[in-house]
């Protein structure tokens, strides 16, 4: 084959696709602004181990990972909790973020991928109606295909011409700002829930967790607006009142990061271009987890590129990548964005009511390593969700919000089902407009 492929950025999906494509004979080079050995935040991450097999990677050595604890969810003030019950054979694994990158990069290099570090990607090179390369801090580079793996704020995607129909930005409610750090263990007191996830705690519209580990306490604070270290200290002081193991000294971590929590790009391909991972907003809209989705997408993209025997890599030949990603993943994940918007519209009292009334169950918070979408946690379709709410909810205002959410989920599911199987610019752009509007 020998066609030249550029991967812009060392995102998880990009490096996985790079490895598989190089293994199939393509000339693949990755351009990354960070230095070798510096990738990955100073914290752990969780993902489905089966996604490694899909992306044709081996499991890491056993000393590099462990299986995650079941999470226990709490409302703003409710004492009632909901606990996951993930079977042992469906547990996700937890790894240091730096070790995840090291594993992915080692796999790619073994398969012939070239990586250029300390080289910032600045934007696309477009000739006529085609992306033909990228602008970098070291100069322009050209290729037959550019895979955009630069993340949520990708300079490649954001600088594509409007006629390609690809969204440039995520709105404020489509991304969450998180702060995560590990603190000293201040007490040996045993806790009933080792991994506590709290919704709208202390009046903050967002999510937080306190995970009690053997040697430290892992804290995450997430919200849909900006906040600073002073606010972090205020919230941590409140968390310590209910979590005596949470110490004051930060051991490691301490970064602010923005994560996309929205539906995947309505159009993620163009002539000579394909977006993947956070560049294509492939995270789970409710929680921001995205590694497994990116790995699965990498396999679909690889198969699509290989199937293009002529190596022309147009929007038409790349469209099956998006089509099959939607059919296998995005269609199940998209309704979770409706659940996210519902959560943002609820008051703390209404969230507590959902916990206390039995409207939510342990099944509704159980996301296993086989999780592919809303059907795995709701066990029901949007109409059944509405019927369940009507039978349990005695609050007419809350009921109206839930019914509206269920109806929107139905519209989103219908829009996903209507995605064109073949590329036709007019049809695809018309579908993308309907799909994006269905969330409003």
Residue 412 clears pLDDT 60, i.e. is over it: yes
The CATH class of 4-65+96-169+265-328 is alpha beta
Q: Give residue 62's pLDDT.
A: 95
The overall average pLDDT reported for the chain is 92
pLDDT digits (tens, 9 = 90+) for 106-155: 999 999 999 999 999 999 999 999 999 999 999 999 999 999 999 999 99
Residue 437 clears pLDDT 60, i.e. is over it: yes
CB 94 within 8 A of CB 194: no
Q: What is the mean pLDDT of residues 358-385?
A: 62
Q: Give residue 374's pLDDT.
A: 55
Q: Give residue 192's pLDDT.
A: 84
pLDDT digits (tens, 9 = 90+) for 246-270: 999 999 999 999 999 999 999 999 9
3-state SS track over the chain: CCCEEEEECCCHHHHHHHHHHHHCCCEEEEECCCCCCCCCCCCEEEECCHHHHHCCCCCCCHHHEEECCCCEEECCCCCCEEECCCCHHHCCEEEEHHHHHHHHHHHHHHCCCEEECCCCEEEEEEECCEEEEEEECCEEEECCEEEECCCCCCHHHHCCCHHHCCCCCCCHHHEEEEEEEEEEECCCCCCCCCEEEEECHHHCCEEEEEEECCCEEEEEEEECCCCCHHHHHHHHHHHHHHCCCEEEEEEEEEEEEEEECCCCCCCCEECCEEECHHHHCCCCCCCCCCHHHHHHHHHHHHHHHHHCCCCCCCHHHHHHHHHHHHHHHHHHHCHHHHHHHHHHHCCHHHHHHHHHCCCCCHHHHCCCCCCCCCHHHHCCCHHHHHHHHHHHCCCHHHHHHHHHHHHHHHHHHHHHHCCCCCCCHHHHHHHHHHHHHCCC
pLDDT digits (tens, 9 = 90+) for 40-72: 999 999 999 999 999 999 999 999 999 988 889
pLDDT digits (tens, 9 = 90+) for 377-408: 555 555 666 666 666 677 888 888 988 998 99
Q: Confidence class of residue 274 from pLDDT cuts 50, 70 and 90?
A: very high
pLDDT digits (tens, 9 = 90+) for 151-208: 999 999 999 999 999 999 999 999 999 999 999 999 888 888 899 999 999 888 899 9
pTM of the predicted structure, to 2 decimals: 0.94
Q: What is the mean pLDDT of residues 221-240?
A: 95
What is the biggest distance separating any 2 CA atoms in the chain, rounded to whole angstroms?
65
Sheet bearing 273-275, strands edge to edge:
114-116, 27-31, 4-8, 145-148, 273-275, 269-270
Candidates 350, 312, 438, 298; CA nearest to 14 is 298
Q: Give residue 375's pLDDT.
A: 54
């Amino acid at each position: 084959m020998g066609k030249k492929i550029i991967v812009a950025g060392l995102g998880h999906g990009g490096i996985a696709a790079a490895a598989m494509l190089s293994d199939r004979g393509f000339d693949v080079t990755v351009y990354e602004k960070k230095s070798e050995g510096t990738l990955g935040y100073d914290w752990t991450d969780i993902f489905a181990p089966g996604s490694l097999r899909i992306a044709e990677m081996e499991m890491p050595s056993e000393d590099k990972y462990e299986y995650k604890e079941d999470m226990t969810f709490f409302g703003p003030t409710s004492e009632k909790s909901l606990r996951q019950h993930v079977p042992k054979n469906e547990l996700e694994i937890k790894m240091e973020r730096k070790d995840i990158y090291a594993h992915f990069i080692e796999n790619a290099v073994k398969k012939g991928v070239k990586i250029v570090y300390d080289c910032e990607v600045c934007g696309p090179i477009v000739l006529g109606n085609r992306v033909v390369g990228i602008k970098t801090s070291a100069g322009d580079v050209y290729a037959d295909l550019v895979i955009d793996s630069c993340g949520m704020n990708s300079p490649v995607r954001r600088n594509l011409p409007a006629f390609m129909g690809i969204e440039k930005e995520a709105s404020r409610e489509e991304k969450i700002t998180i702060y995560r750090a590990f603190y000293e263990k201040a007490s040996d007191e045993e806790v009933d829930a080792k991994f506590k996830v709290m919704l709208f705690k202390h009046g903050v519209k967002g999510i937080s967790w306190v995970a009690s580990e053997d040697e430290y306490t892992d804290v995450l604070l997430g919200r849909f607006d900006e906040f600073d270290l002073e606010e972090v200290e205020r919230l941590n002081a409140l968390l310590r009142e209910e979590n005596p193991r949470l110490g004051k000294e930060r051991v490691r971590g301490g970064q602010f990061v923005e994560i996309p929590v929205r539906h995947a790009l309505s159009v993620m391909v163009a002539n000579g271009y394909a977006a993947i991972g956070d560049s294509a907003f492939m995270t789970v809209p409710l929680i921001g987890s995205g590694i497994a989705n990116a790995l699965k997408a990498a396999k679909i993209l690889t198969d699509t590129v290989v199937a293009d025997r002529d190596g022309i890599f147009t929007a038409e030949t790349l469209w099956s990548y998006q089509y099959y990603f939607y059919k296998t993943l995005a269609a199940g994940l998209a309704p979770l964005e409706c659940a996210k918007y519902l959560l943002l519209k609820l008051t703390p009292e209404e969230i507590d009511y959902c916990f206390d009334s039995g409207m939510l169950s342990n099944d509704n918070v159980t996301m296993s390593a086989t999780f592919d979408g809303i059907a795995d946690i709701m066990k029901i379709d949007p109409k059944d969700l509405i019927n369940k709410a009507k039978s349990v909810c005695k609050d007419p205002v809350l009921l109206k919000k839930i019914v509206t959410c269920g109806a929107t989920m139905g519209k989103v599911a219908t829009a996903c089902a209507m995605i064109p199987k073949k590329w036709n610019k007019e049809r695809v752009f018309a579908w993308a407009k309907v799909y994006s509007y269905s969330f409003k």
